[in-house]
C-alpha cells in the first residue's frame, strides 16, 4: 500500500507538480490549500507519512501550521518546508517547532523524492 504524503501549498500549479512527482514515485497524495486546511485533513488522515508544506499561504502559513502541530499530542508526521523563503529567522522559528527539512523552490524532482523516501518512514511522537 502506498504511503500518503500531504502537500500544503496555496498554488494549484505547485500542488500539481508535486502530485505528479510523488505519484510517479509511488506515493498517494493528499492536497491542502493552506495550514488550516492541512490541520483539518490531518485529523481525518492519521496515516499521513509526511507533509511537504509551503511557508507563505493565506489563513494559516506553514510555520503557524507547524507550531499548531507541535502543540498536538500523539504521533505526527515529519514536516518539510518547500518554499521560496530562506530567511534565517524564519528557518530558526520552524526548527524550534520541529521542521525536519527545508527545500527551496524550484525543487529538483529526484532530490525531492530522495528526501521523501528518507523521511516518510519516520513519524515521531510528540
Domains of the chain, each with CATH number or no CATH: 4-125 (3.40.50.2300)
Average pLDDT of every residue of the chain: 89
Place of cell 523524492: 113
Please give the pLDDT value at position 61. Answer: 93
Spacing of C-alpha 112 from chain mean position: 12
> Of the ranges 17-31, 69-83, 88-102, which is most confident?
17-31
What are the φ and ψ backbone dihedral angles of 58, each rounded to 5 degrees?
-70, 170
Q: At what angle do helices 35-44 and 62-71 cross, to 10 degrees?
A: 40
Percent of the chain with pLDDT over 90: 64
* CB-count exposure of residue 98 (10 Å: 0-12, 13-18, 19+): middle
| Helix, strand, coil percent content, the chain, rounded in steps of 5 | 40, 25, 35
Please give the pLDDT value at position 6. Answer: 97
Judge whether residue 123 has pLDDT over 60.
no
pLDDT tens digit sequence for 34-83: 999 999 999 999 899 999 999 999 999 999 999 999 887 677 899 999 98
Judge whether residue 88 has pLDDT over 60.
yes
Beta bridge partners of 48: 4
Tell me which of 84 and 86 has the higher pLDDT.
84
Q: Are residues 91 and 102 in contact, defined by beta-carbon separation less than 8 angstroms?
A: yes
Amino acid at each position: 500500500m502506498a504511503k500518503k504524503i500531504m502537500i500544503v501549498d496555496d498554488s494549484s500549479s505547485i500542488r500539481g507538480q508535486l502530485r505528479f512527482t510523488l505519484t510517479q514515485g509511488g506515493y498517494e497524495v493528499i492536497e491542502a490549500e493552506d495550514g488550516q486546511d492541512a490541520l483539518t485533513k490531518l485529523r481525518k488522515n492519521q496515516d499521513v507519512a509526511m507533509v511537504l508544506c509551503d511557508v507563505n499561504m493565506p489563513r494559516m502559513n506553514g510555520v503557524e501550521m507547524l507550531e499548531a502541530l507541535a502543540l498536538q499530542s500523539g504521533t505526527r508526521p515529519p514536516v518539510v518546508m518547500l518554499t521560496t523563503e530562506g530567511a534565517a529567522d524564519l528557518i530558526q522559528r520552524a526548527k524550534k517547532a520541529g521542521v525536519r527539512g527545508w527545500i527551496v523552490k524550484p525543487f529538483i524532482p529526484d532530490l525531492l523524492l530522495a528526501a521523501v523516501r528518507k523521511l516518510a518512514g519516520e513519524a515521531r511522537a510528540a
